[in-house]
């Protein structure tokens, strides 16, 4: 295996003391004390991590426990994507994002539960059972990175890796009351991330705070020649310690757009109220809040659910019993393929493979896939036009509702709508993040920032200022260890 470029070393972004003081021993104590195993947040654990040499390292994250979503390849633990078809599979290589965390001294304590092959919005589609929300165990943690979000919200770890195709870091972050960041497409290498929809997939980070998420993102970001879509651009400090001289108005000069399509008349008034309070706080911090329009937003869900399944049907063709994981024995090769795939994939994965195969088939390609790509280009241009008009950031709700109950959404389309405010960032490839901004019926509500390509530092700076201003009223999940 060839060597990859090391990410740019951290200069100004400080490693929060909260990360350095939370040890691997603390993680296990929390795991045992809080009965975190009952959350089903982890699919595999590395108890031996407490004795590895990483604990004596001197990197920026030396001795910091981290959790990894189970669709990122690791050398020491299985990579199953929460699917029976990859049961027991151990990768011969490690994802670049995981390797960079280890090189910084972080200790991988386990792989986290997820919707099978990252297909879902609740982490109920895992072949190994659903994950429960640590803030209300009758509710979902969101998906598909629900295991990683639950691990952070429960206090087992303070940072974790997830992945996004249509909001799978931001939506569970909102449901669990923590911070979730999806970087610009290409900012973080996808090498070692099991492909779902390659043009939409991103490796993202969870943190208990904005500063923790920023520190983790800065460590895993940077060009990687092993990923042809990795951007060869510098990695700036993600959260500079000092960004503005006006302490009272730290966001002076910043223009925050409020897209009217993300505040429909039927939006839960309690969520709308929390968003308005956050926007008022941004204005109090010196930002100019300006109403803008992204008129093609209502097309995002149908476009996403044409493009993503189409790419998934191609990417998942490799799981046939001959190359990876489980194999169902049969008398001939064709029967072996059919039995392996029919037994190995769950209902949601099967549904998306069938949908993707249909929209790519002869006679329907132009009508569905080609038209969806044209609308995707339109959505991307609308984002570019808004940012070119002088708007630095957009602020919206992350989700239309707080966390719903396990089994509450049995209609797949109703489930897909929980990502209605997040999929546009993946279609356009822009960075986005969710942070806690309040509570509804005791459940956290997320506010979402979106930014131009590679403008993560601006986005994180505004989020940190808002986090400080909202304080305890934000409803962030309490960290118990």
> Checking DSSP bridges between strand 393-397 and strand 255-259, what pairing results, if any?
parallel
Structural tokens at position 229: 């879509």
Does position 257 have pLDDT exceeding 70, yes or no?
yes
- Binned at pLDDT 50, 70 and 90, residue 2 comes out as very low
Query: Average pLDDT for residues 186-200, to the nearest whole number?
Result: 98
- Binned at pLDDT 50, 70 and 90, residue 242 comes out as low
Does position 9 have pLDDT exceeding 80, yes or no?
no
Q: Are 325 and 370 in contact (CB under 8 A)?
A: no
Residue 132 backbone zone (phi > 0: left; psi -120 to 50: alpha; other: beta) = beta
- Binned at pLDDT 50, 70 and 90, residue 374 comes out as very high
Q: How many CB atoms lie within 10 A of CB 261?
A: 17
Q: What is the pLDDT of residue 271?
A: 97
Phi, psi angle pair for 275, to nearest 5°: -65, -40
Strand order in the sheet with 179-182: 42-45, 107-112, 65-69, 159-164, 202-207, 179-182, 432-440, 443-450, 393-397, 255-259, 288-292
Q: What is the pLDDT of residue 10?
A: 53
SS3 content of the chain, % helix, strand, coil (to 5): 40, 15, 45
Higher pLDDT, 32 or 289: 289
Say which of 168, 189, 230, 296 is annotated catalytic. Answer: 168
- Helix pair 456-470, 210-220: axis angle to 10 deg: 160
Q: What is the overall mean pLDDT for the chain? A: 92
Say which of 121, 122, 144, 148 is annotated catalytic. Answer: 144
Alpha-carbon radius of gyration of the chain: 21
Query: Average pLDDT for residues 38-43, to the nearest whole number?
Result: 96
Residue bearing tokens 């223009």: 255
Per the annotation, the verdict on 168 as an active-site residue is yes
Per the annotation, the verdict on 258 as an active-site residue is no
Tell me the pLDDT tens digit for each residue of 48-91.
875 544 445 678 999 999 999 999 999 989 999 999 999 999 99
- Binned at pLDDT 50, 70 and 90, residue 455 comes out as very high
Per the annotation, the verdict on 44 as an active-site residue is no
Does position 224 have pLDDT exceeding 80, yes or no?
yes
Tell me the pLDDT tens digit for each residue of 296-354.
999 999 999 999 999 999 999 999 998 888 899 999 999 999 999 999 999 999 999 99
Phi, psi angle pair for 48, to nearest 5°: -70, -10
In whole angstroms, give the CA distance from residue 455 to residue 457: 6
Higher pLDDT, 457 or 240: 457
DSSP structure class, residue 133: B
% of the chain exceeding 70 in pLDDT = 93
pTM, full prediction: 0.94
DSSP 391-426: --EEEEES-SSSPPBTT---SHHHHHGGGTTTHHHH
């Amino acid at each position: 295996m060839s060597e990859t470029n090391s990410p740019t070393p951290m200069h100004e972004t400080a490693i929060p003391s909260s990360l350095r003081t939370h040890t691997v021993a603390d993680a296990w104590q929390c795991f045992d004390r809080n009965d975190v195993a009952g959350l089903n947040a982890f699919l595999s654990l590395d108890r031996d991590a407490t004795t590895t040499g990483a604990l004596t390292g001197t990197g920026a994250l030396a001795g910091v426990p981290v959790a990894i979503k189970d669709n990122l390849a690791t050398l020491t633990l299985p990579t199953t994507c929460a699917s029976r078809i990859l049961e027991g599979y151990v990768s011969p290589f490690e994802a670049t994002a995981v390797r960079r965390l280890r090189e910084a001294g972080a200790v991988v304590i386990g792989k986290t539960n997820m919707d099978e092959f990252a297909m879902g919005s609740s982490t109920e589609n895992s072949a190994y059972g659903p994950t429960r929300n640590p803030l209300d165990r009758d509710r979902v943690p969101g998906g598909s990175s629900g295991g990683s979000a639950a691990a952070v919200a429960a206090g087992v770890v303070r940072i974790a890796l997830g992945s996004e195709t249509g909001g799978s870091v931001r939506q569970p972050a909102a449901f669990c009351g923590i911070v979730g960041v999806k970087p610009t497409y290409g900012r973080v290498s996808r090498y070692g991330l099991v492909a779902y929809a390659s043009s939409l997939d991103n490796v993202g980070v969870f943190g208990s705070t904005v500063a923790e998420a920023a520190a983790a993102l800065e460590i895993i970001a940077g060009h990687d020649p092993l990923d042809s879509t990795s951007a060869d651009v510098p990695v700036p400090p993600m959260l500079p310690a000092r960004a503005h001289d006006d302490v009272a108005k730290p966001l002076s000069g910043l223009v925050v757009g409020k897209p009217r399509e993300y505040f429909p008349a039927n939006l839960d008034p309690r969520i709308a109220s929390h968003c308005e309070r956050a926007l008022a706080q941004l204005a109090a911090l010196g930002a100019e809040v300006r109403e803008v329009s992204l008129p093609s937003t209502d097309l995002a869900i149908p476009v996403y659910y044409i493009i993503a399944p189409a790419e998934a049907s191609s990417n998942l063709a490799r799981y046939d019993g001959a190359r990876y994981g489980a194999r169902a024995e049969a008398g001939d090769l064709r029967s072996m393929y059919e039995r392996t795939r029919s037994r190995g994939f769950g209902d949601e994965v099967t549904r998306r493979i069938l949908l993707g195969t249909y929209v790519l088939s002869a006679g329907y390609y132009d009508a569905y896939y080609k038209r969806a790509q044209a609308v995707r280009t339109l959505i991307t241009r609308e984002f570019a036009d808004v940012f070119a008009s002088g708007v630095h950031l957009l602020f919206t709700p992350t989700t239309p509702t707080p966390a719903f109950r396990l089994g509450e959404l049995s209609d797949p389309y109703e489930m897909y709508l929980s990502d209605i405010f997040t999929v546009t960032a993946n279609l356009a490839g822009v960075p986005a993040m969710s942070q806690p901004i309040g509570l509804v019926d005791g459940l956290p509500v997320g506010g979402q920032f979106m930014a131009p390509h590679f403008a993560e530092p601006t986005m994180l700076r505004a989020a940190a200022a808002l986090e400080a201003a909202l304080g305890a009223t934000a409803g962030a999940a309490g960290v118990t260890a």
